[in-house]
Amino acid sequence: MIAGLVQILLFQGLGEIVARFFLPLIPGPVIGLVLMLAWLRVRGSVPPAVDLVATAFSQNLGLLFVPAAVGVVMFWPQIRSHALAVVAALVVSVVATMAVTALVLRAIAKDGEP
């Protein structure tokens, strides 16, 4: 499990370095994720150690939402006073996410056709 965690953190660190020196507008973890995706694509498979860590993280993903929930409860009066703006932002972001996902899926599907 340690080897998988080291590999994941290595790519995050590489992403931070690239973001710091070359692409300051893109977050380091996002760059690291893209680098790891490229590495996995070139490799052709996911190493068992990385798979083990990824499975453990995804099984406990709910724990990562606890701090966000505490923040919502803590700032409830401010959120309540701006409820219309919060709901509008949530609706627009969900619609935009679904639209971008559909466009990417359409582009990928076109590439896969003979």
User: Per-residue pLDDT tens for 69-101?
Assistant: 888 888 889 889 999 999 999 999 999 999 999
Helix (H, G, I), strand (E, B) or coil at 12: helix
What is the value of pTM for the model shown?
A: 0.61
**114 vs 20, which has greater pLDDT?**
20
Longest dimension (CA), the chain: 56
Where are the chain's structural domains?
Answer: 1-59, 66-114
Tokens standing for residue 17: 């370095």
